[in-house]
Structure 1
């Protein structure tokens, strides 16, 4: 007999037959007719090469082979049922000893990584968090299992990736304290475009499109790899940076938004908000430890940005 000929459904039936010692009792327990159970017993006899249950008076008794198999078959049946049963196991979070790898946006790393670390280590001191930079929207690392959770903007080429909304973000302007653009006259599209700008390499398409519709364009003088670099240079020059609001924490543009020598302002053209989400691969969806990590990240983010 080949592996393809095996019918694992027979294992469950054999377990019940050996436990009941009765075709009628086994049939009743499995919701089958007595004739169907008799046919299954015949198949089991042919498969195992042993009578398994034999007539003794008005009842059935197990053969020595059946007695030897009984406990083993029962354990196997329980193992199979455990594998196929939905994952509802309780996990002792405090006892976990594992590492999670997160790929995160720069704003998250700057302002939200510390409270996430605090929440995780308080509840699960054995968990280690490994943070990686998010240089793009490629879902490959999630698919390949290189990272467990990603925080940022979802790409368009990953329909299978699971997501959980965290908060809305938007682009704002950032300049050094005392910059002439914020002289009280007002930031108009023309005045904004006429400044010298510093741009993170992957940002600003929506702003530039809105300016083009008005016949304007930013004068990009410097291009840097990321938003922290843009903010660092803007703090020490007259260049204007364009960054997500989350890079300045929960400060509102135009308010008391000074942050280590920077002031923020609302971009004077209409641009869409973008959603920051937690992302993971479907294979991790039902994992209880991963689910707890996701819930922890969501709780921290919504506490930091309750109105976004």
Structure 2
């Protein structure tokens, strides 16, 4: 194909069309008329010899070829943007940039405090604006309105870059005066009442069905595989457990191990390994290809990775694997930072 005869602006239009999956919305976003957008779609179909978007009962559905093109077009446009931008060095100590980061409650409890401390030292005027998952859409990230997302992801758009921050397992917290402390087995675990920490704090009154394994996450899914279920009496979105557990001797909270260690900071609270297998989970950092090469964004990602490495190194000293095996109360083995597609193909 002769590139001199190809209008590269068509790639910008294709990117918006595949993102919106709607000619009207795409035309509004690009500031052109709907007939003009329809004409551009016809040109794109001719260029790629493919329908790209097909009408269906649910609107416009991308073809297999369109799905194949979408991440590649996004990457190409990001590279072109980077190529045309003036190269500037990021100076963190004098910068007053605002970074908008979507974080889960888990990330805010375990990673963010140390990140803020490091930031105050290296970039005292930089501002971090933390957003909840409900505040952010993938479109916000794709368009660079949100810098990063740090969360447990089931999946992210194919074009996104990802880095694994760490893996974590689960531990149980209970009062030191709990009747189950000295006989912490599956039978007593099922006999006890439980606290469930959700993203929203909403429980059965808001449509959460404890009978559905998918409704309550990996803990209850693991129990269902054993043909069991726990009795949940408290739904909350917060990890602050000690006062609740101390006041209610029969309650058990099953939490990510890093959070559980932070909560078990006095003699009134005991941390135990779950009496059944719960799969570990991953905390991942994800971002749009638009920001992959931005100097300030790259600096922030490197700082987050540095902080996570520090936390992992300290865990190796404070919670060595040998101690975990001996007393059976601490069971997470920290891992090295692992990169997932650090410079996506």
TMscore range, shorter length: 0.5 to 0.7
Structure 2 match to 1:214 = 226
Mapped to 2, the partners of 1:242 and 1:137 lie a distance apart of 27
Mapped to 1, the partners of 2:108 and 2:267 lie a distance apart of 17
Corresponding residue SS for 2:306:
helix
Within the alignment, does 1:181 sit opposite 2:165 as a pair? no
CA drift of 1:296 comes to 0.5
Structure 2 match to 1:201 = 198
Deviates more, 1:271-280 or 1:105-114: 105-114
Structure 1: 4+ residue segments shifted above 4 A: 85-89, 135-138, 229-232
Corresponding residue SS for 1:305:
helix
Match for residue 245 of structure 1 among 257, 260, 282: 257
Contact 2:111 2:308 in 1 (8 A): yes
CA drift of 1:149 comes to 1.5
In the alignment, structure 1 segments of 5+ residues that lack a partner are: 8-80, 252-256
CA drift of 1:179 comes to 1.6
Structure 2 match to 1:171 = 170
Mapped to 2, the partners of 1:219 and 1:145 lie a distance apart of 43
- 1:141-178 CA-partner distances (Å, limit 9, x unpaired): 42344421221212324222211111111122111232
- 1:84-138 CA-partner distances (Å, limit 9, x unpaired): 3687643222221211112222233234322211211211222111222345995
- 1:227-254 CA-partner distances (Å, limit 9, x unpaired): 4255653343131112112223579xxx
Contact 2:172 2:253 in 1 (8 A): yes
Match for residue 290 of structure 2 among 272, 283, 300: 283
- Normalised by the length of structure 1, the TM-score is 0.63
In the alignment, structure 2 segments of 5+ residues that lack a partner are: 8-79, 200-214, 314-333, 336-345
Mapped to 1, the partners of 2:145 and 2:101 lie a distance apart of 9
RMSD across aligned C-alpha pairs, in angstroms? 3.2
Alignment of 1:27-66 (within 5 A): none
Mapped to 2, the partners of 1:83 and 1:270 lie a distance apart of 46
